[in-house]
């Protein structure tokens, strides 16, 4: 098979042996694989894949058709349309995925949309509801509202009955973010628009002191991105005075049991909203596998709404 391959912090397309599904695993013929910030970090050598996942083939989410099944697979059959988060190896013609983390592709989604769905909607759903406990009527602030996780978080929060404010660096994208259901503001213009019950931090450490100032009493900050820096300084007296909580989360390194649980939550609570037309996956661009390196450069350039997807 052919796959995007990391060599000396560059993305090349190389031949690799076809993977073979083991017990409980499914071989997926990949039709689309989303590109994420973690892939950018892995290319730079900063975010290695967990043990058991390909170390040189990036990609954390995919959608495709079941090509073959290993021993013990019961839920999916050859030809089924499936999607999943994986530890790595998604940006290839073939990938092996454990059956328990697979989800069916909702009716009406094309391959590019399905390939850009699993990582961002699972991450947003887990951070907002499992970690931060967002409730109807609360006020959510999303930092980085134009990105994949940001656009997913805005939509999920709105369907749950929350109010949403989102910071968007690009002036050209604010109107499009507003159409998803958020009040879109400049990155430096959010503190006075609170207080916020939940803040979804996708940018990193530099935002944290002002986040705490803008947080409501009893508020929660969920940190799931540190692209602008991982270190910060906090006033712990302010944290105590607001009875606030700060939590952090990643999905990639979780054990199979926990990944399977997040997949079931998304399958039961999120995918039906796609089937009813209440959610969508904004796709900013599609790149064939031969142009995978261009996709990475486009991601680094920014200024996009939603997902970039590689389509083997």
* Beta pairing, strands 139-143 & 163-167: parallel
pLDDT of 86 reads 96
Q: Are the folds of 2-117+253-311 and 120-248 the same?
A: no
* pLDDT, tens digit, 9 for 90 and up, residues 127-153: 999 999 999 999 999 999 999 999 999
> Is residue 106 pLDDT above 90, yes or no?
yes
The CATH architecture to which 2-117+253-311 belongs is Alpha-Beta Complex (3.90)
pLDDT of 267 reads 97
pLDDT of 275 reads 95
Per-residue confidence band for 33, with pLDDT thresholds at 50, 70 and 90 = very high
> Is residue 109 pLDDT above 90, yes or no?
yes
Domain limits, the chain? 2-117+253-311, 120-248
The helix/strand count (H/E) of the chain reads as 10, 15
> Is residue 166 pLDDT above 90, yes or no?
yes
Q: What is 120-248's CATH topology?
A: Rossmann fold (3.40.50)
The residue behind tokens 């939509």 is 155
- Gap between the Cα atoms of 139 and 255, Å rounded: 32
By the 8 A CB rule, do 52 and 32 touch?
Answer: no
By residue count, the chain amounts to 312
SS3 string of 66-82? EEEECCCCCCCCCCCEE
> Is residue 228 pLDDT above 90, yes or no?
no
State which H helix or E strand residue 7 sits in.
Answer: strand 2-7
- Gap between the Cα atoms of 130 and 128, Å rounded: 6
- Gap between the Cα atoms of 166 and 199, Å rounded: 10
By the 8 A CB rule, do 132 and 59 touch?
Answer: no
**CA 158 to each of CA 126, 131, 169, 205, 303: distance values in angstroms, whole numbers, following the listed order:** 15, 17, 21, 26, 24
287-302 mean pLDDT? 97
Q: Residue 42: helix, strand or coil by DSSP?
A: helix
* pLDDT, tens digit, 9 for 90 and up, residues 254-286: 999 999 999 999 999 999 999 999 999 999 999
49-74 mean pLDDT? 96
pLDDT of 225 reads 87
By the 8 A CB rule, do 270 and 121 touch?
Answer: yes
pLDDT of 226 reads 84
Q: Residue 43: helix, strand or coil by DSSP?
A: helix
pLDDT of 204 reads 87
pLDDT of 253 reads 84
């Amino acid at each position: 098979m052919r796959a995007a391959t990391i060599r000396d912090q560059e993305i090349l397309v190389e031949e690799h042996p076809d993977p073979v599904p083991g017990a409980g695993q499914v071989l997926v013929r990949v039709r689309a694989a989303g590109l994420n910030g973690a892939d950018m970090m892995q290319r730079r050598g900063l975010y290695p894949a967990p043990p058991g996942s390909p170390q040189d083939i990036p990609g954390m989410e995919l959608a495709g058709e079941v090509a073959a099944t290993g021993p013990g697979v019961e839920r999916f059959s050859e030809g089924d349309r499936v999607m999943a988060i994986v530890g790595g190896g998604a940006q290839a013609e073939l990938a092996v995925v454990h059956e328990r983390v697979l989800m069916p592709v909702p009716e009406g989604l094309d391959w590019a949309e399905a390939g850009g769905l699993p990582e961002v909607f699972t991450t947003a759903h887990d951070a907002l509801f499992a970690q931060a406990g967002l409730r109807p009527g609360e006020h959510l602030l999303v930092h980085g509202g134009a990105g994949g996780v940001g656009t997913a978080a805005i939509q999920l929060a709105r369907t749950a009955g929350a109010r949403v404010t989102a910071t968007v660096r690009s002036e050209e994208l604010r109107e499009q973010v507003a159409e998803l259901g958020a009040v879109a503001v400049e990155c430096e213009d959010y503190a006075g628009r609170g207080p916020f019950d939940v803040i979804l931090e996708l940018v990193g450490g530099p935002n944290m002191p002002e986040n705490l100032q803008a947080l409501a009493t009893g508020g929660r900050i969920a940190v799931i991105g540190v692209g602008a820096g991982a270190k910060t300084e906090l006033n712990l007296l302010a944290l105590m005075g607001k009875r606030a909580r700060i939590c952090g989360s990643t999905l990639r390194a979780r054990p199979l049991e926990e990944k399977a649980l997040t997949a079931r939550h998304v399958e039961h609570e999120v995918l039906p909203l796609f089937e009813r037309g209440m959610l969508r996956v904004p796709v900013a661009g599609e790149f064939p596998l031969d142009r995978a390196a261009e996709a990475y450069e486009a991601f680094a350039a920014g200024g996009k709404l939603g997902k970039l997807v590689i389509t083997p």
